[in-house]
Amino acid sequence: MDAGQGPREIRTVVSTALFQPDEIEQLRRAFEPAEFLQVRWDDNEGISRALETADVAVHWTDLDDRHLQAPHLRWVHCDHAGLTRSARPEVFEKGLLVTGSAGRSAPALAQHAFYFALALTYDVQGLLEMQAAHQWRAPAGYENRLALWGKTLGIVGFGKTGEEMARLGKAFGMRVIAYRRRAGEDAPAVDRMLAADAGDSIDPLIEESDVIMLAAHLSDETYHLFSTDQFARMKSSAYIVNLARGGLIDTDALVEALASGAIAGAGLDVADPEPLPPDSPLWDQPNVLITPHMTPRIPERTQRSIDVIVENIRRYRSGEPLLNAITPRDIYTPR
């Protein structure tokens, strides 16, 4: 469904956004002269009652069946980046416009990815073991390690986070290859851009990269994008870093690739399943670093979310395509 369908009036808005009072007031003013109903996120009765009249909803989480049944609802904004759980076939059947706050944490996520890349490259776990043992020496084989400078960074998914990853990659002196869904303009920080819609294969990125960072949406198209065949084509010295969604990686194939030495290590902020079960073998892999789907915030994260919403209010009213709108290609059917 095209996100731009002609000018529209906004009459009633329901919001469960977890913002401070002054931030809520920004939204209220931006939606004027529409009626603005701020409801607690856990007030199910209040939300259901407001959805009886609302034509726009702003929520801190994903939409649910109540939104599909709302008689006047036309646009839902979910205040987070990944809209996997909102990208359902029935959303498009109803004709809902659904947008998110992708990009609000892009700088922090890109830095998180390089936390993994640097920690794996410099064998932080091995160095910490030496420190804990009060030993002034490096782990075995440390003299053969190479820094990130001069290596190749592969970025899968090239939205705001991918752009930040590329920028940091160039700052670290890396050659950057990126793979995205849609063809588009080249990016200054990317040495080679590949696009699925242009008929490009992801294989060159897989085969040439020393560090692969995942920043793509999870959809039926990208589910298990990295499995046994892809790990077999990676360099045995390469690392994979996932800051996107756990389902992009076939977990069983990753465990086997790490255990067999097919790849050198992994940095995982997301997992499949999530949370990662206590008995998962990934916890005990010496070449794996794990964080619990949580990254430090940037100071202006909430304001960046508000800026996206405010711009989309203008676009919605003028009939322009909305920022961060999901499309039928984003549909994900849970396995």
Residue 124 tokens, joined: 């932080």
**Could you tell me which residues are beta bridge partners of residue 98?**
76
* Closest to 12 measured CA to CA, from 58, 63, 66, 43: 58
* Closest to 75 measured CA to CA, from 93, 49, 60, 95: 95
3-state secondary structure of 166: helix
Tell me which of 25, 32, 93, 274 is the catalytic residue: 274
| Spatial separation of the C-alpha atoms in residues 56 and 32, rounded to whole Å | 13
**Could you tell me which residues are beta bridge partners of residue 180?**
195
Tell me which of 59, 67, 88, 245 is the catalytic residue: 245
Structural contact between residues 17 and 59, judged by C-beta atoms closer than 8 angstroms: yes
Tokens 């007031």 map to which residue? 25
Structural contact between residues 108 and 298, judged by C-beta atoms closer than 8 angstroms: yes
- Active-site residue, 245 included: yes
- Active-site residue, 274 included: yes
Structural contact between residues 90 and 69, judged by C-beta atoms closer than 8 angstroms: no
Residue 260 tokens, joined: 């067999």
Structural contact between residues 254 and 241, judged by C-beta atoms closer than 8 angstroms: no
| Spatial separation of the C-alpha atoms in residues 333 and 122, rounded to whole Å | 38
| Spatial separation of the C-alpha atoms in residues 304 and 301, rounded to whole Å | 5
* Closest to 31 measured CA to CA, from 240, 332, 306, 320: 306
| Spatial separation of the C-alpha atoms in residues 21 and 5, rounded to whole Å | 32
Helices 21-31 and 301-318: angle between axes, nearest 10 degrees: 10
Tell me which of 66, 233, 293, 315 is the catalytic residue: 293
Catalytic residues: 245, 274, 293
